Amino acid sequence: MSSDPAADVGLLAPIWAGSAVERASGDLAYLRAMLDAEAGLARAEARVGLVPPAAAKLITDCADSGRYDVRAIALRARDGGNPVIPLVEALRAVVRDLDPDAARWVHHGATSQDILDTATMLVAGAVLDLAIADLRRAAAVAAGLADTHRRTLTVGRTLTQHAVPTTFGAKAAAWLTGLLDAGDRLRVVRRALPAQLGGAAGTLAALQGDGIAVVEAYAAECGLVVPTAPWHTVRTPVAELASALALAVGACGKVALDVTLLAQTEVGEVAEGEGGGSSTMPHKRNPVRATLVVAAARQAPALASTLYGALLAEYERPAGAWHAEWRPLRELLRLAGGTIAVTGDLLEGLRVDPDAMRANLDLTGGLVAAERVALALAAEWGREPAQQVVREASLRAAEQRRPLQDILGERPDVTRLLDAETLDALCDPAGHLGSAEAIVDRVLDRYRRIEPERG
Amino acid sequence: MSSDPAADVGLLAPIWAGSAVERASGDLAYLRAMLDAEAGLARAEARVGLVPPAAAKLITDCADSGRYDVRAIALRARDGGNPVIPLVEALRAVVRDLDPDAARWVHHGATSQDILDTATMLVAGAVLDLAIADLRRAAAVAAGLADTHRRTLTVGRTLTQHAVPTTFGAKAAAWLTGLLDAGDRLRVVRRALPAQLGGAAGTLAALQGDGIAVVEAYAAECGLVVPTAPWHTVRTPVAELASALALAVGACGKVALDVTLLAQTEVGEVAEGEGGGSSTMPHKRNPVRATLVVAAARQAPALASTLYGALLAEYERPAGAWHAEWRPLRELLRLAGGTIAVTGDLLEGLRVDPDAMRANLDLTGGLVAAERVALALAAEWGREPAQQVVREASLRAAEQRRPLQDILGERPDVTRLLDAETLDALCDPAGHLGSAEAIVDRVLDRYRRIEPERG
Amino acid sequence: MSSDPAADVGLLAPIWAGSAVERASGDLAYLRAMLDAEAGLARAEARVGLVPPAAAKLITDCADSGRYDVRAIALRARDGGNPVIPLVEALRAVVRDLDPDAARWVHHGATSQDILDTATMLVAGAVLDLAIADLRRAAAVAAGLADTHRRTLTVGRTLTQHAVPTTFGAKAAAWLTGLLDAGDRLRVVRRALPAQLGGAAGTLAALQGDGIAVVEAYAAECGLVVPTAPWHTVRTPVAELASALALAVGACGKVALDVTLLAQTEVGEVAEGEGGGSSTMPHKRNPVRATLVVAAARQAPALASTLYGALLAEYERPAGAWHAEWRPLRELLRLAGGTIAVTGDLLEGLRVDPDAMRANLDLTGGLVAAERVALALAAEWGREPAQQVVREASLRAAEQRRPLQDILGERPDVTRLLDAETLDALCDPAGHLGSAEAIVDRVLDRYRRIEPERG
Amino acid sequence: MSSDPAADVGLLAPIWAGSAVERASGDLAYLRAMLDAEAGLARAEARVGLVPPAAAKLITDCADSGRYDVRAIALRARDGGNPVIPLVEALRAVVRDLDPDAARWVHHGATSQDILDTATMLVAGAVLDLAIADLRRAAAVAAGLADTHRRTLTVGRTLTQHAVPTTFGAKAAAWLTGLLDAGDRLRVVRRALPAQLGGAAGTLAALQGDGIAVVEAYAAECGLVVPTAPWHTVRTPVAELASALALAVGACGKVALDVTLLAQTEVGEVAEGEGGGSSTMPHKRNPVRATLVVAAARQAPALASTLYGALLAEYERPAGAWHAEWRPLRELLRLAGGTIAVTGDLLEGLRVDPDAMRANLDLTGGLVAAERVALALAAEWGREPAQQVVREASLRAAEQRRPLQDILGERPDVTRLLDAETLDALCDPAGHLGSAEAIVDRVLDRYRRIEPERG
């Protein structure tokens, strides 16, 4: 491992610096995966009888990332435009030193893209395994919040304004829904990650009639799926990966955006367990995890768009479209992996303040009951006068940021008809929750079907 | 229908102007879908017993798009920021004229987003039905090409350079793979399009305890799926739609990009059945359809990225993220629908020129045999001199754009050892096709499994 | 003008439906601009002596958009892949009817792209003129707010948390800065909009030696800049336009995003003059304009990215990259035009509530003075005990959402040392404004230099 | 410098691995720039009299990147969400060890964003200096090609089809135009890079009344421009940078895309001086540099779109939008820097083959003369029969890929009227170049105005 001053070590990436996903997707991980692909190919060809077993064994032994200088490979990648060419040269040289005859079987029948695409799928598999586990962790916490707070009153806000009451459990159920959707998609994509082997132009020409058998053995050696055909220029696997990752980042982003807003000083309904400090303001407790997740969610869609753009891949290997995938896909894998893990932490540490929720709800919560109060008054006064009184009271409630029932309760003409208890009942937001709890149950049922041992 | 001078009629959109998808997704189609959603809601509530059946019948009758001026609705949408508010007012007024009591049941328990989201899914369903049918048509042609040309020799090109021989059937099989992938994804998404009903803040508050029953009846009336929970701010359905559409456009784009390049004057291996004319150059036969498809494929990823960005939807209805979906999603639906249809036309009309393919292959095709010839010569001359002769000949072949065997055939020292027949056999690209045909078969098998009655 | 049911009339675009920019950029506006380009070309060629003046006059007369059916042109655009081909045919037919000899001078020496690119610049010019005027209007209001509220105390929020005091004038000055930046850029781009004339492949071949002279006359006739060279495949003008428009939308988006948040029910520091209603909730006053602007700001970057992608334009006219510009550029022009106008309205109608600002500031405002109070107490008690008391008080202030000075004022040990007046002075956020007012002045100075007669 | 296995060393980035821009923009470069910003701030405050000169000197001495472990900083950045917080702690600790009193002046009056934004502008300045120099180098070569090949005949291609003749000089002039446009824009942006200093919420509160003076001194110390106001949430500088970089990448991408196509085996008009090898195909000479540049050009627009999206920055520091800039901006800086340098290399090494151009032109070049021949024949035969003969001949020329004049020259009825010399003259593409050379001259004039000493 080079200690080149050009190395990047995550300084601008607090979302994943130091994480498991960073290790699973760094340059060294790619190097390992490329070597694993080369070794898997040799073993596959040995299985099929094309390569002597001893040569395959030797190639596998030599495909040990510790033997190679990733920086030197990176620098030599410039000549041929990809890192596989210098890596194959280096691997072949190592094998040749030990057994000159075996060297010819290195990279036999493959093209650079076969190795890099397969390696990318191996890296993706490792990242997805981490991501799926972290997403389960996050979903478990969200499910717990939905269940615990199924009756915790809070306000529903639309276009930033108080709308009608809801429960914090319903909010958590919405978060959970997004996380479950993302998990479903990630699992589908994880199971379908294909090996790539096509040779120079996708015909497996150099493997003569054994091509298909080699592909099958190769996929098995790599733990990947056998594709119907080489996908050098049919980049569905990359696009599918991109969409699943972007969905997961977006689902986490929804949670985090809500947290940043619910944690606003004036709102104060939730807080990060350990908020981040500030370089200037000692009194601040910033929603740092949520901020980093939101930041990730603002980056993922554009990365995905570059990967969708790479579907436009001409001929049997495009002059640019393939190369344009490498960095955005790795970045998206890392963003997703980091984001999901941080979202798990965020949810695990989330502090929920039902009192603050109730206090905020009371700012306008009674407004939703305006119609019910008006109906009650109208029975006595007639419709127009009743509406007039309630309208004025609502206006004052909003202006003074006081509960509607308090305003109404100050009017003797109202209290003569509706005693305090009746007024409170009419104004109680808990009476306006509709199917909030049933929806929570439906979402939790879905969760338990997916995670029977957890729910 | 207004004939407002502000109307757009597809002038800048030859990919879909005049198409079925245009009609299925225009402003009038959205108006109809919104009215269908309102009518479906009323009937659903009648089924559940909340709304008098006669009122539901009257609302359904009044929800006839011919009664409403879409331009007037559009203009009045500015005040509240969405078109549902003025549409509901207009619908309620029409109903009120006929039965004042029934008017109160219009839009009962729904919020604007419920209606627009459901309408969007209805429009998406109509577009997807068209797109899936057109994609089957395109796939059938691609399958035919793959089968017919399974042994039609052509050159595989990587990074724009001749690589090794392949078959045109293998190229068509790659196209088919992309189209099948897209079809699989579109069908999954089509089947999952959900209705939306949540009321003001996703709790179905106004429906009291009947919310879930109404949602189920509503989805049935609309022919959509019952969602586990309202998805006002969990935008998975929109993101999934975006990814499926972008994948389909990309799969078509791959076909079209290849066509534009294979149709180049110097390449001339395919041509559009009816190429487009030029406003200046009477001799031109432009690959117009392919050009329009490529243009679409350059637009789709960014549209999808905006839709993925809309996953970042705060609170119970976001102030902007939802509104940001409308135009990009419609544009993506149209682009996809138009693109798939045009790709079907393109493939149906494609003229394939095997002679041109062979002529191009012969420019360098023998090069792939260089190694085999060198081995044959080396048996007599030794390795170094043999390699030297072949290297020089290869260089001359490339410079003069002549087949390698012709160059070699002019050297008496070579022809002494290898007679013309032997040389031809060694240089025959048909002997270097590896698993091309097996791959074609695998892809056709997949096609036949999906389309048993067609394949 | 067709009343085709396929027409779009802005149903999904409340940001610009019914606006001046809609009229300036609709299909009819493009038709007019293409006809203006054709007429300008004929007159330019007459100036140079290539075309008989009478023919140029006749072509100009016939280039009246009222004579053409934009829908029919749109439908016929599919064959050749662009609308200029059928439009030229239609124009030529109209001219031919009146003077068969003059018909040959229609479109003389031009290619379709010349006409459509020039028309696009004409449309862009009209939209930019509107946008620049609306941006000046918005900037004038922002400047007024900055000036009026230069000492209106409010809280600065970072990562959604109260940070330190600032003024509402400083916030408005930040808005103004963005608007001025955008205006500067739009004006630069407006002045540089070039005519396009290159003929079939950019050599002006059909104009023989008079090409340059014709380009100069043509640009003059169209009111556009003479380009150094045809820009068929050097799309700087489009990319520059995209970046200026995206910047303007983003600058408005910053204003609007702040408005949606400052208008939150719990924050309540600003409100839209006439907030939008809701289809369900009569008590709501939604920040509708701000929401629409935020929605636009979420769409513009992706549109710009497609236009930047079109820089990748091969050969002398690309097969797709150019066609991919049309819709996104028009959409971006409209979004920008609509957004800027709505932002002007938003700012003009903005209601500012200094009392709410002060109340919110007081929730934590005293916290910033914690250090000053601690120093004052430390003089008597020593550093550690003083810090301890203040730390505890700060914590309680945050928990109880009460001003720090109130908490401190309840402690006899504190009030013994610091009387109420002193405590208030130490805790007064107005004493912590740094250079807020100087910054406002600097921004207003910049505004006045740009708008000397307004400031 | 850590040799952490998590480090990235450019393995997936052959476009910039090992380049000067890599060193100028790596994590270590950012660390240095942040330390330079801290040191510049201390010196600026010393100039203004706020900080003791000795403390500023000490801070400057301690702000030596060799003293800090960038990996440790990266890991500790997770807590507060940005790398400045741990860096300030580390710097303060180093200073404190040497002079406890001086430590309090570290980071005085600044917030994390001040330091990171300023550091980013310092990094951007270094990258832009490299990029501008490399762009001048590339432009010089393009200018040379335009001049040298001002009369080198080649074919103009539109929608991938032969259109009319042009010159290779005109193609190079188009490339040059894009490069000059990009250079103009990069220089404007380079000159305008601003320092950032605003303190906690943009008021420079902690600097009391000296804020503006400190900003001015700070900008001078950093070699950056004094902004009118802090731009914490008015991100014009970032958006402008993004647009200039994306324009430059796009201008290079146009060159490279043309090279990949002109280098196609069948076209063969240009070749990279040293084409890249292949891991499988020894005969290949891939346009590797062009491929890497095209790959970059496919990534830049999406990165720019994320940065334009960051204009949507709420409050006085956004919870995500700012953090979302870091990685995309650095990646875009590197892509642009690497791309421009590689494009310079590509152009310097480009091999141009005028004979191949002529041979390709002759495939259809005579077609452009069809009209002239038809006119000549019509004088004798009448219009219809003449057109008929030429049309048939054109068709055969296209089918047989032979020059039109050869086809016509085989018809005795034609040669009777037009002798070989006349026919050749009518068919000579050199007679159809219009203003190609004048356009080259105009572009070269522009180049010489910008680069008087070079041109």
* C-alpha to C-alpha distance for A36 and A39, rounded to whole angstroms: 5
Contact A287 C160 (CB under 8 A): yes
Higher pLDDT, B404 or B291: B291
pLDDT digits (tens, 9 = 90+) for B429-438: 888 899 999 9
Tell me the residue ranges of DSSP E strands in B261-407.
270-271, 351-352
D206:A280 CB<8 A:
yes
Tell me what pLDDT residue A382 has.
78
Q: Is the dihedral of CA D378, D384, D388, D394 positive or negative?
A: positive
Top residue of A9, A252, A283 to mutate, by most chain D CBs within 10 Å, is A9
Planar angle of CA A97, A100, A103, nearest 5 degrees:
95
Best residue in D1, D2, D3, D9 to probe A by mutation, most A CBs within 10 Å?
D9
- Residues in chain D closer than 8 A to B278 (CB atoms): 158, 163
Percent of chain B with pLDDT over 70: 95
A117 vs C195: CA distance, rounded Å:
46
* Closest CA–CA distance from residue B66 to any residue of chain A (Å): 32
The yes-or-no verdict on residue A281 having pLDDT over 70 is: no
Closest-CA distance, B161 to chain A, in angstroms, reads 9
pLDDT tens digits, one per residue of B296-306: 999 999 999 99
CA distances from A405 to A157, A376, A409, A429 (A): 21, 14, 6, 11
Closest Cα of chain A to B234: distance in Å? 6
* pLDDT value, residue C296: 98
Residue A18 — left, alpha, or beta (φ > 0 → left; ψ -120 to 50 → alpha)? left
**In this complex, do A304 and B304 lie within 8 Å of one another by their Cβ atoms?**
yes
Nearest CA in chain C to B108: C280
The C-alpha of C258 sits at a distance from chain B's nearest C-alpha, in angstroms, of 11
- Among the partner-chain residues C111, C156, C177, the one whose CB lies closest to the CB of D316 is C156
How high is the ipTM of this complex?
0.94
pLDDT band at A435 (very low <50, low <70, confident <90, very high): very high
Higher pLDDT, B311 or A281: B311
Indicate the residue of C157, C284, C287 with minimum beta-carbon distance to A163.
Answer: C284
pLDDT digits 0-9 by tens, B28-64: 999 999 999 999 999 999 999 999 999 999 999 999 9
Mean pLDDT lowest for which of B128-137, B361-370, D26-35? Answer: B361-370
Q: Mean pLDDT in chain B?
A: 93
Residue in chain B closest to C310 (alpha carbons) equals B298
Count CA atoms closer than 13 A to B280's CA, side-chain side.
23
Place of tokens 């459509």: C116
The per-residue pLDDT string of chain D (455 residues; one tens digit each, 9 = 90 and over) reads: 334 677 999 999 999 999 999 999 999 999 999 999 999 999 999 999 999 999 999 999 999 999 999 999 999 999 999 999 999 999 999 999 999 999 999 999 999 999 999 999 999 999 999 999 999 999 999 999 999 999 999 999 999 999 989 999 999 999 999 999 999 999 999 999 999 999 999 999 989 889 999 999 999 999 999 999 999 999 999 999 999 999 999 999 999 999 999 999 999 999 998 756 555 444 567 999 999 999 999 999 999 999 999 999 999 999 999 999 999 999 999 999 999 999 999 999 999 999 999 999 988 766 766 767 877 888 788 777 887 888 888 878 777 777 788 888 899 999 999 988 888 888 888 888 999 999 999 999 999 999 887 75
Chain C hits for B70, CB-CB cut-off 8 Å, are 9, 11
Instruction: Provide the percentage of residues in chain A whose pLDDT is more than 90.
Output: 78
Distance from CA of C307 to the nearest CA of D (A): 8
Per-residue pLDDT tens digits for B251-261:
999 999 999 99
> CA B18 to CA B26: how far, in whole Å?
11
Q: Helix, strand, coil shares of chain C as percentages rounded to 5?
A: 70, 5, 25
For the beta carbon of residue A452, count every other beta carbon within 10 angstroms: 8
Q: State both tokens at D260.
A: 């990949």
3-state SS, residue C25: helix
Q: Which of C4, C81, C199 sits opposite B280 (nearest CB)?
A: C199
Q: Inter-chain contact B276–C1, Cβ cutoff 8 Å?
A: no
Alpha-carbon gap: A8 to the closest alpha carbon of chain B (Å): 27
What per-residue confidence (pLDDT) applies to D103? 94
Q: Which residues of D touch A271 (CB under 8 A)?
A: none
Contacts of C318 in chain D (CB under 8 A): 159
DSSP state of D153: E
Residue B165 has pLDDT above 60, yes or no: yes
D324: chain A residues, CB-CB within 8 Å: 294-296, 298-299
Greater model confidence, B345 or D455: B345
Q: How far is CA D183 from CA A390, D199, D249, in A?
A: 66, 34, 11
Q: Which is higher by pLDDT, D208 or A307?
A: A307
Q: Taking CB atoms and an 8 Å limit, are C267 and A264 in contact across chains?
A: yes
> Active-site residue among C317, C330, C334, C446?
C317
Nearest CA in chain D to B160: D264
DSSP string, D209-240: GGHHHHHHHHHHHHT-BPPSS--SS--HHHHH
Tell whether the torsion through CA atoms of B28, B29, B33 and B36 is positive or negative.
positive
- Name the pTM for this structure: 0.95
Nearest-CA residue of chain C relative to B81?
Answer: C288
Of C276, C283, C367, which is closest to A370 when you measure between CB atoms?
Answer: C283
Q: How many distinct helices (H) and strands (E) make up chain A?
A: 19, 4
Q: Is the pLDDT of residue B380 over 90?
A: no
Chain D CB contacts of A5 below 8 Å: 1, 23, 26, 28
Active site residues of A: 278, 317
Chain C residue whose CA is closest to B311: C298
pLDDT range class, residue A3, cuts 50, 70, 90: very low
User: Sorting pLDDT into bands at 50, 70 and 90, what band is B1?
Assistant: very low
Q: Which residues of D192-209 are buried (b: 16+ CB within 10 A; e: fewer)?
A: ebbbbbbbbbbbbbbbee
Residue in chain A closest to C279 (alpha carbons) equals A163
Q: Supply angle C-alpha C124, C129, C132, rounded to 5.
A: 115
Residue D152 CA to residue D356 CA, distance in Å, equals: 11
d(CA D449, CA A350): 62
pLDDT means per 10 residues, chain C with 455 residues, are 70 97 97 98 98 98 97 96 97 96 94 98 98 98 98 96 95 98 98 97 91 98 98 98 98 98 96 67 77 98 98 98 98 98 98 95 75 79 82 79 83 90 85 94 97 75
Across the interface, do B159 and D360 touch by the CB < 8 Å criterion?
A: no
Contact A168, B315 (CB under 8 A): no
The pLDDT of residue A285 is above 90: no
Active-site amino acid positions of B: 278, 317
Residues of A with CB under 8 A from a CB of C: 155, 157-164, 260-261, 263-268, 276, 278, 281, 283-288, 291, 301-302, 305, 309, 360, 363-364, 367-368, 370, 394, 398, 401
Closest CA to D336 of D132, D119, D116, D117: D132
The pLDDT mean for chain A works out to: 93
Q: For residue D437, give the chain C residue with the closest CA.
A: C203
CA distance C49 to chain B (A): 21
- Least confident window among A166-170, B419-423, D314-318: B419-423
SS3 sequence of C368-389: HHHHHHHHHHHHHHCHHHHHHH
Residues of B in contact with A324 (CB under 8 A): none
Per-residue pLDDT band for B2 (boundaries 50, 70, 90) equals: very low
Q: Which of C50, C117, C316 to mutate to test the interface with D (most CBs of D within 10 A)?
A: C316
Quick one: pLDDT band at residue A455, thresholds 50, 70, 90? Answer: low
Higher-pLDDT residue of A455, D429: D429
Q: Are B18 and C276 in contact (CB < 8 Å)? A: no
- Each residue of A220-233: pLDDT tens digit? 999 999 999 999 99
- Contact list in A for residue C287 (CB cut-off 8 A) is 159-161
How is residue A312 written in tokens? 């436009």
Q: C: neighbours with 3+ CB pairs under 8 Å?
A: A, B, D
Q: How far apart are CA D134 and CA A234, in angstroms?
A: 36
